[in-house]
Amino acid sequence: MTKTSDDEEILNPYVQGLKGTPKDPDLTSLPEKSREIYFRAYNNFNKWRVENGVYALSETVLLSYFMHLSQTKQPPTMWSIYSMLKATMNIKDDMHIENYSELITFLKGMQVGHNPKKSKMFTFSDIDKFINEAPDIIYLGAKVILIIGINGGCRTNELMSLNVDGIEKHSETLLLIKLPNSKTSTNRSFVVREEYVKIVEQYQCLRPPNAKSDRFFLQYHKGKCSGQPMGRNKIGGIPRDIATYLKLPNPQDYTGHCFKRTSASLLADSGADLSSLKGDGNTRPKVRDKR
């Protein structure tokens, strides 16, 4: 599509707006921990407008955008994007999209009949087999993510944000893991014991001395760690990689929620009560097979 000079005058403010940063003073009222994600959702909407030559802001435009998103996004994700756009557009564009009844009706309609899939879980024997049989040269990083993820009942973002100072050695058989910025906005901690300490330390020793990131989990390939931290998608895909190695059915159903669900299941199997399942993660069963 060829744009006229008039089109360009209308379009320029939106293109220039994409060059902003989450430090924009207008955005300081957004949640600090997720401000960048809100900003990205707003940017993605504006980029879609630029790519499709849409210069107006209206309920019809937003309906078209969410119809576009519905081709690739699940209803929960679309509601999340709606929530972020609602907050950001209120600040940046003085728009109140919570009053857009047709848009809300569309989103509710998308939710009808949607049954969210729960991640599959690992068994004690699955965990034991992977840790003891998978070759370290390929899977050492995955083993450490599995050990910490299940002992702490961790979410993907918690594993991603774990930093090098969050792991403390208290004895030859005990590591204390401290997780910052959990979903409840409170720090929590848990322990890794016995033989798993050596596996975690083996991974720690591979950390490049010149690594610029303080994140604990770095990219692991052929027995070496690079200075590049693992991203959310990489860590979230580890359960699938483990399930693939173990030749479990439908490995794609082992998602980033796998570690938390597995941890809760193991707690329940070990006789833990409901209060332990809802606790801060300090009481976790050791990751080992029942023998």
pLDDT per residue as tens digits for the range 234-263: 999 999 999 999 999 999 999 989 999 999
Is the domain of 83 the same as that of 128? Answer: no
Residue 212 sits at φ, ψ, to 5 deg, of -85, -30
Average pLDDT over residues 154-166: 92
Q: How many domains does the chain have?
A: 2
Out of 66, 83, 111, pick the residue that ends a domain.
Answer: 111
Average pLDDT over residues 96-102: 94
Q: How confident is the model at residue 32 (pLDDT cuts 50, 70, 90)?
A: confident
Is the domain of 94 the same as that of 156? Answer: no
Q: Is residue 78 part of a domain?
A: yes
Is the domain of 98 the same as that of 179? Answer: no
Q: How confident is the model at residue 181 (pLDDT cuts 50, 70, 90)?
A: low
pLDDT exceeds 70 at position 69 = yes
Q: Is residue 290 part of a domain?
A: no
Higher pLDDT, 269 or 289: 269
Q: CB under 8 Å to 153, separation ≥6 — which residues? A: 259, 260, 263, 264, 267, 281, 284
pLDDT score, position 16: 44
pLDDT exceeds 90 at position 10 = no
pLDDT exceeds 60 at position 291 = no
Residue pair 221/232 in contact (Cβ under 8 Å)? The answer is no
- The two tokens of residue 5 are 């000079």
Average pLDDT over residues 65-88: 92
Rounded to a whole number of angstroms, the distance between the first and last alpha carbons of the chain is: 68
CA distance 71 to 198: 46
Is the domain of 170 the same as that of 73? Answer: no
Average pLDDT over residues 162-186: 83
Out of 85, 111, 137, pick the residue that ends a domain.
Answer: 111
Q: Which domain holds residue 87?
A: 5-111
Q: Is residue 289 part of a domain?
A: no
pLDDT exceeds 80 at position 27 = no
Higher pLDDT, 285 or 68: 68
CA distance 216 to 2: 49
Q: CB under 8 Å to 56, separation ≥6 — which residues? A: none
Is the domain of 29 the same as that of 142? Answer: no
Q: What is the mean pLDDT of the chain?
A: 83
Q: Is residue 291 part of a domain?
A: no
